[in-house]
């Protein structure tokens, strides 16, 4: 008799824990033929608000770590993704069965993390500077994290879009609440399991699976979210985000979710300038 396999429950990732949705809902994840491959937790407004609360609580500690330490943790995520390489490939293949393309996407995701890991202790050296003000003052401008960032992951990229933007947001010390791809949610859940074992403190990354359109307004209007990464949003979703952002003057960041750039990091920072006199 063949052995019956044990299936994984696909849950949310909030504050370093894996709850089901408080709403008790789930939704089907489909493969490229339309067959149901798993049922995935469907996050509610309450789940989202919990996630933001945890992200806020974790933010000061994450930003307070050295760039070297954040870099090592991002690198550790890459190490453990490499360890789960085949799992990610098979989950990327759920939506796109081409194995070579799936492998390339997982490889690119791991290399993307390594690339951003290196920025954590260098970004301020490129983006900050001494200002030669006309007076006896020491004057320096340096980037600081914006705070809590909401992120709408690209729906048509199972893994790379999610990893690339998440890494850019984490580098300078932000924490993030991710709305995972609605049509390809499984790699996001596996990524959450990697994060939980990669020395990433609980609450630094929170990943919600669910209906993106349902959650976007709550995310965009939330008064304790400082910025929203809308690079993965459709133009209709982008309009909702832009309108919600007005409530507390959120920064809304667009761009191509699959490319990498230190300017993406810069989009999630605030420049702080410090003056100090020089004299006897």
Partner 1 sequence: MSTELEGRKADVVAPRIDWSYATSRESTDIVSIEKRYGLFVDGEFRAPKSRKHYESVNPATEEHLAEVAEAGPADVDAAVSYAREAYESEWGAMPGAERAKHIFRIARMVQERARELAVLETLDGGKPIRESRDVDLPQVAANFFYYAGWADKLEYAFPGLDPEPLGVAGQVIPWNFPLLMLAWKVAPALATGNTVVLKPAETTPLTALAFAELTAEAGLPPGVFNVVTGAGETGSHVVGHPDVDKVAFTGSTAVGKIIQHQLAGTDTRLSLELGGKAAHVVFEDAPLDQAIEGVVNGIFFNQGHVCCAGSRLFVQENIHDLFVDKLKARLATLRVGDPLDKNTDVGAINSREQLERITELVDAGVSEGAEMFQPACDLPSRGFWFVPTLFTGVAQSHRIAQEEIFGPVLSIMSFRTPEEAIEKANNTPYGLSAGVWTSKGSRILWMADHLKAGVVWANTYNKFDPSSPFGGYKESGFGREGGRHGLLSYLKGPR
Q: Which residues in this chain contact partner 1 in the complex, by CB under 8 A?
A: 67-68, 71-72, 75, 111, 114-115, 117-122, 125-126, 138, 262, 276-280
Q: Which of 166, 160, 177, 192 is nearest to 10 (CA)?
A: 192
Cβ-contact 41, 12 below 8 angstroms? yes
Nearer to partner 1, 54 or 76 (CB): 76
Nearer to partner 1, 69 or 90 (CB): 69
Minimum CB separation of residue 16 from partner 1 in Å reads 25
Cβ-contact 149, 170 below 8 angstroms? no
Report helix, strand or coil for 205. strand
Count CB neighbours of 20 within 10 A.
Answer: 16
Minimum CB separation of residue 96 from partner 1 in Å reads 24
Nearer to partner 1, 247 or 263 (CB): 263
Minimum CB separation of residue 61 from partner 1 in Å reads 21
Task: Please report the DSSP string for 244-260 in residue order.
Answer: HHGGGT-EEE-S-TT--
Give the bridge partners for 129, in sequence order.
Answer: 141
Nearer to partner 1, 3 or 276 (CB): 276
Minimum CB separation of residue 232 from partner 1 in Å reads 24
Nearer to partner 1, 24 or 136 (CB): 136
Nearer to partner 1, 30 or 140 (CB): 140
Distances (CA, A) of 138 to 122, 127, 129, 134, 142: 21, 18, 11, 10, 13
Nearby residues of 29 by Cβ (< 8 Å), 6 or more positions away: 10, 36, 37, 38, 39, 40, 94, 184, 185, 186
19-27: long-range contacts (C-beta < 8 A, 24 or more apart)? 19/47, 21/47, 21/210, 22/46, 22/47, 22/50, 23/47, 27/209, 27/210, 27/211
Q: Give the Cα separation of 206 and 156 in Å (integer).
A: 20
Minimum CB separation of residue 102 from partner 1 in Å reads 20
Report helix, strand or coil for 226. coil
Q: Give the Cα separation of 122 and 139 in Å (integer).
A: 20
Minimum CB separation of residue 67 from partner 1 in Å reads 8
Q: Running DSSP on this structure, what letter comes out for residue 184? A: S
Minimum CB separation of residue 145 from partner 1 in Å reads 18
Nearer to partner 1, 119 or 218 (CB): 119
Minimum CB separation of residue 53 from partner 1 in Å reads 33
Nearer to partner 1, 85 or 138 (CB): 138
């Amino acid at each position: 008799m063949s052995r019956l396999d044990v299936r994984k429950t696909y849950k949310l990732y909030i504050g370093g824990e894996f709850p089901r949705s408080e709403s008790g809902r789930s939704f089907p994840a489909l493969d490229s033929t339309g067959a149901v491959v798993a049922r995935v937790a469907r996050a509610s407004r309450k789940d989202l608000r919990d996630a933001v609360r945890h992200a806020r609580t974790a933010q000061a500690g994450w930003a307070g770590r050295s760039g070297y330490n954040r870099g090592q943790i991002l690198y550790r995520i890459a190490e453990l993704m490499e360890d789960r390489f085949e799992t990610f490939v098979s989950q990327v293949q759920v939506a796109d069965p081409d194995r070579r393309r799936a492998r390339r996407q997982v490889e690119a995701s791991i290399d993307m993390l390594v690339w951003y890991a290196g920025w954590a202790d260098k970004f301020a050296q490129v983006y900050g500077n001494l200002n030669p003000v006309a007076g006896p003052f020491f004057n320096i401008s340096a980037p600081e994290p914006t705070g809590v960032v909401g992120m709408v992951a690209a729906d048509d990229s199972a893994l790379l879009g999610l990893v690339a933007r998440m890494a850019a947001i984490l580098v300078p010390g932000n924490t993030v609440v991710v709305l995972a791809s609605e049509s390809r949610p499984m790699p996001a859940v596996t990524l959450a399991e990697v994060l939980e074992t990669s020395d990433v403190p609980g609450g630094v990354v929170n990943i919600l699976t669910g209906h993106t359109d349902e959650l976007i307004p709550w995310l965009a209007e939330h008064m304790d979210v400082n910025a929203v990464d809308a690079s993965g949003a459709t133009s209709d979703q982008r309009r909702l985000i832009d309108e919600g952002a007005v409530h507390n003057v959120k920064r809304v960041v667009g761009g191509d979710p699959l490319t990498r750039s230190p300017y993406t990091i810069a989009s999630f920072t605030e420049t702080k300038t410090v003056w100090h006199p020089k004299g006897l």
